[in-house]
Amino acid sequence: MAQGKTFIDVTLVKDWQGPARVKRIRIDDVAIYYAREACSMSGCRTLAGIVGDWRQIDYIAQDCLEYFKQVNIEGMRKAGRKQGLEPKF
């Protein structure tokens, strides 16, 4: 699994969307998720093109957010502000 200051590669298992694969989640994808998807009451959410049950997608988003807060907090704050969020960290 590759990681950087602005991305994380997440390994996804085979599912209804296709075979097992690696998906790159960028810092902007996490900001978009929290600005548009996290407040949704839908049972289905999307993060960086990964569609699934809100619980699993939310777990991935939370892990990514925690990672970016550790390695690039200013970048995460900037990405959040670009999406109209006011970071509280």
CA–CA separation, 5 and 60 (whole Å): 17
Quote the pLDDT of residue 45: 93
Asked if residue 3 is part of any domain, the answer here is no
**pTM greater than 0.95 (yes/no):** no
In the numeric block, the tokens 């999406």 are attached to 83
| pLDDT at residue 43, rounded to an integer | 85
- At residue 14 the predicted structure's pLDDT band, cuts being 50, 70 and 90, is confident
27 pLDDT band, cuts 50/70/90, is: very high
| Residue, of 52 and 30, whose pLDDT is higher | 30
pLDDT at 16 over 80: no
Residue 13 lies in a domain: no
Predicted local distance difference test score (pLDDT) of residue 17: 76
How many domains does one find in the chain?
A: 1
Structural domain of residue 75, as residue ranges?
27-82
- Classify residue 74: in a domain, yes or no: yes
pLDDT exceeds cutoff 80 at 1: no
